[in-house]
């Protein structure tokens, strides 16, 4: 049995300094695809259209030399079957990546693991497949564990606070958003929980709403709309309260904001709602395009003024991580300003956020984000990083962001007008994940940043991405 001694405050303090990027699952709406010609900047990265490989990464024997059409649906199902075999085996177990050294809870799923986010993500990834059988104990006990773990303020954190008191509030917007999205789906399908999760969803939604920077009922009701962070979400309501009090500004970022918007969309918040109107302020300030910025707004990077990209810049139209940071780097300009570099994960997130917040395909911010995606289409790595050693940082989170957004757009292909290429993104992504799948059915990133050394987490990411390739 695991004891309270394992849940160390030091481990949680270490975690709080990290950037834990979790992924929320779920179907998206069928919004029409964004259109328009590509911008003048050349394509930065070619698409990866290599043939699929076996689960262990070895080339499959060429049994039929004649070219055959790739059966995306059939191959996807086979990959999902193997992945579920791995995840089923991790029920109530530990993949040894989250234990003591970083977080203090096992890297598995199910009630005994006490791992709320992984449990919710596994359920998201399998819900709606042939493997989902709500009367089986592994599913019913896991859903009940999540329902019983909700805090009085409506949130969920890494573990129930009665087991891990110091975890309360840690990454609570991320994790609450994941569970709310899952519960919204469970509440609407033919299952033992249909119609029984209304209260839990409502409480979770209210926690997310109040966690938006500037919300009248939240920790920063008087926050200046002209300052960085307004309209976005940081890791938790508790963290916003602390950051505003200690630093004068919250750590709002595009990743947490996307989780929140996904959850609010899933539980029926309408695009015209004030919460989305305020969110649009934050979203536009993170788009790397000078023409979408509100007049007079300024952001700084290490005491240097940030200059958003102009037409012709390869970063133009993409997204950064926050108004003052980018995970892919920064460029110094001759005039003494700096330009933060756009990258794929947050650009896909930005585009989906725009759709859910009510923008249309012909709105300039949507078109600019879509054109960046067209110029930088790839499934081989995360586009936007300049150094090849960084190409796979957060790769499996990138796959989720990409698949959910293209699914939301309702597009079958991504075109590169400048090069005359047309990509079947569903087939490309299934092939790439098939090639990367391990012999035991799992995935794991050789680059450990953002906990992607966890096969449980990466397998959830991969399954969520695959589910979003379904037509």
Tell which wins on pLDDT, 101 or 211: 211
Predicted local distance difference test score (pLDDT) of residue 21? 43
Fold of 4-61+75-467: Glycosyltransferase (1.50.10)
Q: Is the pLDDT of residue 120 over 90?
A: yes
Predicted local distance difference test score (pLDDT) of residue 243? 83
Predicted local distance difference test score (pLDDT) of residue 36? 38
**At residue 330, what are phi and psi to the nearest 5 degrees?**
-145, 150
Q: Is the pLDDT of residue 428 over 70?
A: yes
Residue 165 structure tokens:
């008191």
**Per-residue DSSP letter, 212:** B
Predicted local distance difference test score (pLDDT) of residue 188? 84
Predicted local distance difference test score (pLDDT) of residue 20? 42
Q: Is the pLDDT of residue 7 over 90?
A: no
Look at the block and give the residue holding tokens 């359920």. 123
Tell which wins on pLDDT, 8 or 181: 181
Report the candidate in 20, 12, 4 with the shortest Cα–Cα distance to residue 454: 20
Say what the pTM is.
0.85
Interval 192-225: pLDDT, tens: 999 999 999 999 999 999 999 999 999 889 999 9
Q: Is the pLDDT of residue 334 over 70?
A: yes
C-beta of residue 87 within 8 angstroms of C-beta of residue 97: no
Interval 153-198: pLDDT, tens: 999 999 999 888 888 888 999 999 999 999 999 998 888 999 999 9
Rg, C-alpha atoms of the chain: 21
Decide the pairing of beta strands 300-301 and 304-305. Answer: antiparallel
Interval 354-364: pLDDT, tens: 999 999 999 99
The kind and range of the H/E element at 416 are strand 414-416
Mean pLDDT of 38-67: 41
C-beta of residue 186 within 8 angstroms of C-beta of residue 197: yes
Mean pLDDT of 389-418: 95
Measured between alpha carbons, how far is 451 from 448 in angstroms, rounded to an integer? 6
65: confidence class by pLDDT, cuts 50, 70, 90: low
Mean pLDDT of 277-295: 95
Q: Is the pLDDT of residue 45 over 80?
A: no
Predicted local distance difference test score (pLDDT) of residue 268? 95
Residue 434 structure tokens:
């098939």
Q: Is the pLDDT of residue 331 over 80?
A: yes
Q: Is the pLDDT of residue 408 over 50?
A: yes
Measured between alpha carbons, how far is 164 from 372 in angstroms, rounded to an integer? 43
102: confidence class by pLDDT, cuts 50, 70, 90: low
Q: Is the pLDDT of residue 47 over 70?
A: no
The kind and range of the H/E element at 427 are helix 425-436
Predicted local distance difference test score (pLDDT) of residue 309? 96
Mean pLDDT of 117-142: 96
**Residue % of the chain over a pLDDT of 90:** 70
Of the candidate ranges 21-35, 367-381, 387-401, the one whose mean pLDDT is the lowest: 21-35
Measured between alpha carbons, how far is 165 from 186 in angstroms, rounded to an integer? 28
Interval 12-43: pLDDT, tens: 433 333 334 443 333 333 333 343 333 333 33
* Annotated domain spans of the chain: 4-61+75-467
Predicted local distance difference test score (pLDDT) of residue 11? 38
SS3 452: coil
Predicted local distance difference test score (pLDDT) of residue 98? 60
Q: What is the mean pLDDT of the chain?
A: 86
Q: Is the pLDDT of residue 131 over 70?
A: yes
Predicted local distance difference test score (pLDDT) of residue 106? 75
Q: Is the pLDDT of residue 458 over 70?
A: yes
Predicted local distance difference test score (pLDDT) of residue 471? 79
Beta bridge partners of 270: none
User: Where do runs of H (alpha helix) occur along 22-149?
Assistant: 72-89, 116-126, 137-148
């Amino acid at each position: 049995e695991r004891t309270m001694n394992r849940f160390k405050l030091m481990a949680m303090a270490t975690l709080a300094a990290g950037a834990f990027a979790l992924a929320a699952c779920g179907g998206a709406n069928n919004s029409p695809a964004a259109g328009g010609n590509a911008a003048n900047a050349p394509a930065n990265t070619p698409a990866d259209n290599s043939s699929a490989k076996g689960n262990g990464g070895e080339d499959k024997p060429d049994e039929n030399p004649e070219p055959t059409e790739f059966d995306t649906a059939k191959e996807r199902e086979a990959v999902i079957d193997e992945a579920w075999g791995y995840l089923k085996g991790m029920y109530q177990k530990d993949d040894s990546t989250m234990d003591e050294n970083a977080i203090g809870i096992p890297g598995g799923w199910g009630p005994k693991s006490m791992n709320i986010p992984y449990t919710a993500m596994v359920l998201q990834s399998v819900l709606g497949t042939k493997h989902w059988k709500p009367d089986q104990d592994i599913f019913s006990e896991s859903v009940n564990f999540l329902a019983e773990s909700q805090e009085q303020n409506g949130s969920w954190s890494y573990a129930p606070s009665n087991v891990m008191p110091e975890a309360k509030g840690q990454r609570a917007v991320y994790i609450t958003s994941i569970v709310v999205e899952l519960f919204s789906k469970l509440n609407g399908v033919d299952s033992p929980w249909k119609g029984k999760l209304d209260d839990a969803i409502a409480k979770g939604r209210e926690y997310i709403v109040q966690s938006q920077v500037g919300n009248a009922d939240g920790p920063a009701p008087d926050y200046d709309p002209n300052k960085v962070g307004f309209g976005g979400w940081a890791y938790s309501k508790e963290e916003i309260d602390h950051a505003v009090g200690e630093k004068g500004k919250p750590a709002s970022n595009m990743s947490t904001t996307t989780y929140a918007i996904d959850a609010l969309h899933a539980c029926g918040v309408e695009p015209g709602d004030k919460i989305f109107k305020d969110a649009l302020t934050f979203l536009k300030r993170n788009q790397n395009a000078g023409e979408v910025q509100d007049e007079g707004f300024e952001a700084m990077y290490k005491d240097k003024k940030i200059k958003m990209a102009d037409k012709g810049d390869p970063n133009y139209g993409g997204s950064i991580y926050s108004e003052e940071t980018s995970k892919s780097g920064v460029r110094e300009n001759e005039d003494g300003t700096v330009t933060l570099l756009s990258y794929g994960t947050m650009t896909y997130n930005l585009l989906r956020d725009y759709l859910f917040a009510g923008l249309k395909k012909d709105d300039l911010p949507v078109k600019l984000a879509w054109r960046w995606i067209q110029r930088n289409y790839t499934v081989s790595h995360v586009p936007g990083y300049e150094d090849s050693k960084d190409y796979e940082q957060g790769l499996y989170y990138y796959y989720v962001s990409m698949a959910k957004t293209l699914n939301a757009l309702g597009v079958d292909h991504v075109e590169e007008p400048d090069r005359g290429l047309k990509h079947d993104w569903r087939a490309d992504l299934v092939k790439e994940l098939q090639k990367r799948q391990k012999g035991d059915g799992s995935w794991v990133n050789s680059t450990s940043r953002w906990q992607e050394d966890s096969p449980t987490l990466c397998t959830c990411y991969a399954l969520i991405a695959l589910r979003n390739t379904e037509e």
